[in-house]
Each structure stands twice: as C-alpha cells, then as structure tokens.
Structure 1
Amino acid sequence: MTETSPPAPAAARLTCPSCGAEVTDAERFCEACGAPLSPTTEAVTVVETGAESPVELSRPVGATAVTATPEPAAAPPCTSCGGVVGEDGYCTTCGTLARSPRDHYVEQPAAWVAAVCDRGVRHHRNEDATAVAADPEPGSRAVLVVCDGVSTSTDSDVAALAGARSARDVLVAARATGLGVTASRAAALAQSFGVASAQANEAVIANTAADSDNAASCTFAAAVLEGELVVFGTVGDSRVYWLPDAGAGDPLQLSVDDSMAQVRIEMGVDRVEAENGPQAHAITKWLGRDSTDVVPRTGSLTLQAPGWLMVCSDGLWNYCSDAGELQALVAATQATTGPDPLPLAAALVDWANAQGGRDNISVALARHA
C-alpha cells in the first residue's frame, strides 16, 4: 500500500534541491532553474457556478523531492567539456549554456498515458510545455494538454508551463457526472474547455512582467478521453490527432489551426504549399495579455476502434502533418518501441530531432484499446 507523505509544516521554507530557490509544495518545476519537483500537494482548480474566481484546493500526492534544506545541490558539470557551470548557467571554461532539466522532461501519470517535451536541436531553450493526467484504469479518463510558447515573446517558456498546468487542472476537475447520453457529456465537457482556456490565459498573464513590451504568449491544445468519447479544444496551431491502429479506421486531424497557413488552405491553396509558404506558422489566435480572443475551437468524436489519441506541437507535425502519414509513422515506431506510450512518445521526439529539430517538440499520447 502506498502511503502519502504529510504536508510540510507551514513554517518550513521549501527549496528546490537543484538551485536552492524557494518553491511551493504544489509546484512541479522550479521556476528559477526549471528542475522537476515532486510536489507534496497537487493543486486542483474547481470552478463553481456563480463564483467570481475559481477555488483552488490541494490534495496530497506521493513522495516528496522538495526539501526544506537550505543548501542547494552542486550544479552538474558542463556536458561539453566537463567544466564548472557558473551561476548564470554558462560553463566557466568553454562558455556553453548548460542544459536545463526543463529542456527535456517526461510525464507518465498512468501506464496508458505519457508525454515527452523536448527543446529540439536549434532552439536555446524549451518553450513548449505539456501537462497530462490520467486515471489508473486503461482507457478510463485522460487529460492531455500542450502549450507552445511563442519564441518571439518574453518568458514564454515559464508562461506556457503555467498555462498548461492550469488548463490540465480545470479539465481534471471537469467530470460530466450524471450525464448518461454521450452528446450531453460531450457538450458539458466542451464548455469546460472554454474555462480551461480562460484559466490558462490568466496563468500566462500572471507570468508576464507588467512592464514587458513583448508579452508572453502561447498556443493551447487539449483533449479529454473518457472511455470511447474524445472532446478537444485548441487555440493556435498545436494539434489533436486520432490515429487508429493500421487497418482499424481512418486517421483524423481533429483540430483546426488558427494560423495563416489554415487561412490559405481555406482559400483553396494546397495543404503542403500552405504549410510551407511565407508566414505559414504565424498564428491568428493565442493565449496572452495581448490576445483579443482565447475562446477555443472545440469538437468531439466517439471512437470505434483501438488506437492513439495524440496532442502535439508543431515541432512534430512540421515534419509529418498529414494524419495518414502520422498514423504510418506511429505504427512503424511502435513496432520498435512496443505499446508503452512513454518510449513511443520519446521515439517520436527523437525522430523529429533527427529530421532537423528546428522547433521545440511536445508529444502527448493516450491509448484507447
């Protein structure tokens, strides 16, 4: 039987074990250095009808990696030359920027759900973010969220991570209980995506400096899998795909981008040409202080076959946009990795990096059997 650790005393000062910065007991990553943490409580946002703002609760979770020890751990050596990494994050010998734990991290809340988020090859930091949750029983209920920080905006890496977590917590709490009809459940869940996007937007704004002339911004893509029902919502050009097993049905890109490429596609331009043309990745909707519309496009699908629900950033679909081609890539990759979603997601990230890795890469997967 797993036992949960009791919450830390209120007077204790919790610090990141990597850099010594002060953290809270619900944080999953240190905002100072990006190191992953194991929280003692998990924040869950519960939206109450008629309330002026969401009520945030905490519930105990498992083991604690955050300690009250004030002494920070020594920084790991430079991966390029083995030299000492300075306080500014650069090697004091060769000047290489040290790789942060935020550059590559994985999540696997249950055996059938996983996400991998990676910096890629060309970017100097990882501005993508994932946040996933799942019930233990395979195929029962999963929440997948990806936010892709806009690289031209300030602090989008921090803001995207905050936005993804906030949206995940809203969708975790949004269970359409008591609604036996699939259409009713789908409609209720679709409404929760509007709340999730709004809360994610607030989180992005909260992590934007008030005097910033280039406000942090990011995309938003999320999906909830409940048994055979998938409900999804997006803002920007991160995507949701349904990829049934080979021969079990037609693969689908469920989401529709908010981008200049999509505008051109709707004008009749060939998809490949539009997605590779000028300003193809310029988004027309986003989350952030300077956004005028954060209402997501939503939709739903009842699944009829086994397969993979995928939420990903353009770091993956840049190289494999078509749903049929992506289905084939996943099938070929799974033949090597096996059915576990974590090595499968990791292999897909590796594949994108092998194609050039010109952007940050996020892949979140849930298995429907």
Structure 2
Amino acid sequence: MTTVRTCPACSDRAAAGDVFCEGCGRPLPEREGGTPAERPDNVPTAPQQSMSGATRGPVGGGGAGGGPRPGLVPADGGPTAPQVSLNGATRAPAPGAGTAPPAAPAADAPPAGGGRPRGGGPEADPGRHGADSFTTQPIRRDSLRPLTAAPPAPAGAPAPAAPPAPAPDWPPPAVGSSPVQPTNPEMCAWCPGRVGDGYCEKCGFLQPTGRDHVEVRTDAAAGVSDRGLRHRRNEDAMAIRVVAADDPRAPGTVCAVVCDGVSSSPRSDEASRVTAETGATVLAEQIRRGADPREATAAAMTRAAEAVAGIAESLDSAPACTFVSAVVDPAAGTVTVGWVGDSRAYWLSGGPRSSASALLTRDDSWSEAMVQMGALSREEAMRSANAHALIAWMGADSGEIDAHITTVTPTGPGTVLLCSDGLWNYYPEAQSLTDAVPGAGARPHEAARTYISLALRAGGKDNITAVLIPVPTEQGGPRAEQD
C-alpha cells in the first residue's frame, strides 16, 4: 500500500517517496515516524516491478531510499536555461562557479542549475514560527538568534526598565472590510505578538500592506492584483503606462508589465515591484522617443534585470521574479510581448472575425522544457514535482538568461491579457479564459475583477494578477517573426 501524506504548504496529497509536492512545488519534510494515518500497513507488499529500485525502505528503517523514478528523465539530462545574456544585465557568478550547464534532476528531485521552485501553494502553518522552507514571509534574523543569559549588572547601575505590558487580547479588531488590518498598528495581524519595523517580534511575519489588493484603471487598460486566499502577502506586481493620445510618435500606445515574485527567494515582493515599475517606465520612455516596440522591449527588460539585480545583498540572498510585458500599438494593430519566466500573455479573441484566442508566450519552466525536448508528454511533465520549477528568472543569481520577444498582428478586435500563474493555473487554455469572461475588451476593469474572483473561487492558492488591454482594431495580418 502506497503511503500518502499531506503537504504542509498546500494540503495536497503526496506519496511517501516524493521530495517535492506536486501541487505547489515546495520541498516536503521528512516524516519517518508520522501519524498512524501516514504509516504504511504493518504487512509490507512487494514493490511494483516498474518501480524496482525506486521505492523507499520501510518507514523508520533509516534507509537512504531508492533512486529516481525510471522513465521520466532522459539519460543525458534535461535542458538548462538558454545561454543568451540580457546584455550583461545580471551579475557575474560567484568566484569559482563553473560555467558548464548542470545536468537535469530526476523528476522528484530539485531542479539542477539553481532552478527555483515556484511557491504556488500557501504559506506554512502559522503556528510554526521557525524559519523553514515553507515560509514565504521575510523573517527577521534578530528574532531567530538564540537567547543567552544577560550579564550581571555592575554595582550601582540603575535597575533595568520594567518589561513592556503584554499585548492586548488577540485577534485585534479589524478596520473596514479588511479582516487582517488591526486598529492597533503595534499588534500582529497573524498572532498575539507586537510589531516593530513592520514585522512581528514573535512570529517574524511581515504585516499586511496596501498591496494585498491593488486595482489600476486607465482609459486604455486596467489591472487587478490580489494576494489570494493562502498567501500572507502579495508578491505579484503590475504597472501600466499609456502614451498620450496627442503624442506625435506613438499616440495611445499602451505599455504594461506583470511580475510574479519567486517565493523561494528573499524579498520577492520588492523584486516584483521594482522590476514591474522599471520595466513599464522604460518601455513608455522608449516608445515616446520613437523606438521600435521590439527595441523598446529589449531595453526595458535589460533595465529591469539591472534594477532587480541591484537590490540583492549577495548572490546567496538575491530577490527574484518573473517578467512579462506588452506594447500595444493601436495605430499599427500590433502587439509586442517580452517575457522571462512563467508569467503569461494571451490573446483573447473578440469575435468570430477576429484571430483565434492564443497563448503568446512559452513558459521558462522545467515542465515546458521537457515537453519541447519531446522527453515527456505535457500530462507527464505537469505531474512531476518539478513542473513549476523555473529555468529562467530575473535576479542577481539568474546568470545568463534568454529574453524572449515576439510581435503579433491579430486580425480584428480582441484583448491582450497579462497574468501571473495564480490565474492561469486554473485557466491554462486561451479559449477557456475567453469563455470565462465573454467580451472582456468592452469592460476591461470589470473583466479583470472577474478573473480575480474566478481564481479565488477556484482555490486562490497563489497571488493573482490580471492586466487587460483592449485592442479595438480592424487591422490584421499574419504572425510576425519571433525571437
């Protein structure tokens, strides 16, 4: 009988031999003892022939466990991130680091080459206050230092100050419609602790901010970002810039960026914010100066990569995020998309005479690489514990990465959707997104809100961001070349 246990991060079921959760991609803790429900039957059965050599030893036996599951990874290993630099925007590797691409991992081992597991699931149990691999909140280092006995006070020294009064009863009262915004800013929203410098001194969690739910609305585009139901903060970010309608070079051009912070990196919310704001600002500046959208996208991605690399304290503590951008030129009817990571851009068809709905990006993920190699079917790749592991991201530790840029000229009206995986995990197909919110281009703000609501109703396991840009053009043409 196969041992089944529950992932502490997302509550999905995981087999005993799994190292990573297939639902959220986070590492699973070792539980050799476990509860009776987590232990196999007392009478062991013979291992299946197809899994010989890959099963673990008896629970509590102290064995090292079996090898990788057969048939899921080619013998010569999987691909690494393409070695195409963003014009040297990222920092050099640490001294002594090798340059040869690493071999790919087994299907239930961490991705090779420093690949980052995507933290698509919820945070750890709030009762676990220690620093562990499931906690996506920043934890203050000083709160984790071991306690030592205080030295004796010198003779004649004043008596030490009395300890602060205990915090008031918890949970604190809420402000307005937010159940996690206390009226007393010194009280933690997650536990009965006190807050200092934005962090709880007891549990170490960052306190809620104004980014928990953000809405951006312009005449030409709209976006909504929400922290979801499981995360304690919103690590997504978005930015929209619209060139003035009377601009002589690019009237009415819309520039937008969506970034998703990598939860396994520190300060991922700061990474996404800095990257999105930098990318959108540079995009708009370049377009106003008359740059071609593809050139503007390349410049914006380079500057954004430099910005997020610049906030890293070291290569071992580097904030990271994904990136996807769109430049919509209403005069030419073109859509130029750039991306690194697994945040996506979609074309949502506006009617029977318009181009069919389509995914405009291709994920920089382990599962997509396996599919493109022909090593695994999409269903097999998505069942792997490494399915959402990134092979490219923006951050000081990303090395040389491939910045993808593509331009399309859709036929007829429609809508460009930029989104994080908090949405597309539930609606991965372009047509399903189109059917879920018909006529999204006519009411982009309402449509963005609806997409967020649909993702929340589906589970809301991750942060959710959706930016919609209507394209009410009758111009059209074939798909242009793609880098």
Counterpart code for 2:338: G
Asked if structure 2 preserves the Cα contact closer than 8 Å seen for 1:194 and 1:295, the reply is no
Q: Find the aligned partners of 2:213 and 2:449 in 1 and give their Cα distance.
A: 10
Asked if structure 2 preserves the Cα contact closer than 8 Å seen for 1:193 and 1:296, the reply is no
Alignment partner of 1:100 is 2:205: no
Output aligned runs, 1:192-341, within 5 Å.
192-208=296-312, 210-211=313-314, 213-227=316-330, 228-247=333-352, 248-268=354-374, 269-331=376-438, 334=440, 339-341=442-444
Output aligned runs, 1:103-114, within 5 Å.
103-108=212-217, 110-114=218-222
Give the aligned partner of residue 35 of structure 1: none
Asked if structure 2 preserves the Cα contact closer than 8 Å seen for 1:119 and 1:360, the reply is yes
Counterpart code for 2:367: A
Counterpart code for 1:191: E
Give the aligned partner of residue 346 of structure 1: 449
Pair 271,126 (structure 1): closer, same or farther in 2 beyond 3 Å: same
- The alpha-carbon deviation at position 303 of structure 1 amounts to 2.1
**What's the Cα RMSD here?**
2.9
Asked if structure 1 preserves the Cα contact closer than 8 Å seen for 2:319 and 2:396, the reply is yes
Output aligned runs, 1:61-76, within 5 Å.
none
- The alpha-carbon deviation at position 273 of structure 1 amounts to 4.2
CA shift digits 1:87-120 (9 cap, x unpaired): 3643786999864211110112x22301111111
- The alpha-carbon deviation at position 76 of structure 1 amounts to 8.7
Give the aligned partner of residue 471 of structure 2: 368
Pair 147,193 (structure 1): closer, same or farther in 2 beyond 3 Å: same
* TM-score, structure 1 normalization: 0.69
The range that moved more, 233-242 or 260-269, is 260-269
Q: Find the aligned partners of 1:81 and 1:196 in 2 and give their Cα distance.
A: 36
Pair 91,302 (structure 1): closer, same or farther in 2 beyond 3 Å: closer
Asked if structure 2 preserves the Cα contact closer than 8 Å seen for 1:120 and 1:360, the reply is yes
Which structure has the highest helix share of the two?
Answer: 1
Give the aligned partner of residue 191 of structure 1: 295
Q: Find the aligned partners of 1:191 and 1:89 in 2 and give their Cα distance.
A: 47
5+ residue gaps, structure 2, are 1-171, 195-199, 473-483
Asked if structure 1 preserves the Cα contact closer than 8 Å seen for 2:315 and 2:397, the reply is no
Asked if structure 2 preserves the Cα contact closer than 8 Å seen for 1:83 and 1:92, the reply is no
Q: Find the aligned partners of 2:393 and 2:182 in 1 and give their Cα distance.
A: 40
Alignment partner of 1:116 is 2:224: yes
CA shift digits 1:276-305 (9 cap, x unpaired): 432111111111110112441111011211
- The alpha-carbon deviation at position 194 of structure 1 amounts to 2.2
Q: Find the aligned partners of 1:365 and 1:85 in 2 and give their Cα distance.
A: 37
Secondary structure at the residue paired with 1:331? coil
Pair 206,368 (structure 1): closer, same or farther in 2 beyond 3 Å: same
Output aligned runs, 1:78-97, within 5 Å.
79-80=178-179, 84-87=183-186, 89-90=188-189
Pair 272,118 (structure 1): closer, same or farther in 2 beyond 3 Å: farther
Asked if structure 2 preserves the Cα contact closer than 8 Å seen for 1:217 and 1:286, the reply is yes
Secondary structure at the residue paired with 1:343? helix
Counterpart code for 1:113: A
- The alpha-carbon deviation at position 143 of structure 1 amounts to 0.8
Q: Find the aligned partners of 1:243 and 1:256 in 2 and give their Cα distance.
A: 16
The range that moved more, 76-85 or 198-207, is 76-85
Pair 123,212 (structure 1): closer, same or farther in 2 beyond 3 Å: farther
Q: Find the aligned partners of 2:243 and 2:426 in 1 and give their Cα distance.
A: 32
Q: Find the aligned partners of 2:389 and 2:411 in 1 and give their Cα distance.
A: 35
Give the aligned partner of residue 253 of structure 2: 141
* TM-score, structure 2 normalization: 0.54
Pair 151,85 (structure 1): closer, same or farther in 2 beyond 3 Å: farther
5+ residue gaps, structure 1, are 1-74, 179-184
- The alpha-carbon deviation at position 85 of structure 1 amounts to 3.4
Q: Find the aligned partners of 1:303 and 1:135 in 2 and give their Cα distance.
A: 21
Give the aligned partner of residue 265 of structure 2: 153
Secondary structure at the residue paired with 2:211? helix
Give the aligned partner of residue 174 of structure 1: 286
Q: Find the aligned partners of 1:262 and 1:135 in 2 and give their Cα distance.
A: 35
Counterpart code for 2:427: C
CA shift digits 1:159-212 (9 cap, x unpaired): 21011100001100122776xxxxxx7xx322222221121122212333x257
Alignment partner of 1:355 is 2:463: no
Asked if structure 1 preserves the Cα contact closer than 8 Å seen for 2:255 and 2:284, the reply is yes
Q: Find the aligned partners of 2:182 and 2:210 in 1 and give their Cα distance.
A: 18
Q: Find the aligned partners of 1:299 and 1:81 in 2 and give their Cα distance.
A: 41
Q: Find the aligned partners of 1:146 and 1:86 in 2 and give their Cα distance.
A: 30
Counterpart code for 1:342: H
Output aligned runs, 1:41-80, within 5 Å.
77=174, 79-80=178-179
Aligned residues: 282
Asked if structure 1 preserves the Cα contact closer than 8 Å seen for 2:286 and 2:296, the reply is yes
Give percent identity, aligned residues only.
34
Q: Find the aligned partners of 1:76 and 1:144 in 2 and give their Cα distance.
A: 37
Asked if structure 1 preserves the Cα contact closer than 8 Å seen for 2:342 and 2:421, the reply is yes
Q: Find the aligned partners of 2:315 and 2:174 in 1 and give their Cα distance.
A: 33
Asked if structure 2 preserves the Cα contact closer than 8 Å seen for 1:77 and 1:85, the reply is no
- The alpha-carbon deviation at position 349 of structure 1 amounts to 0.7
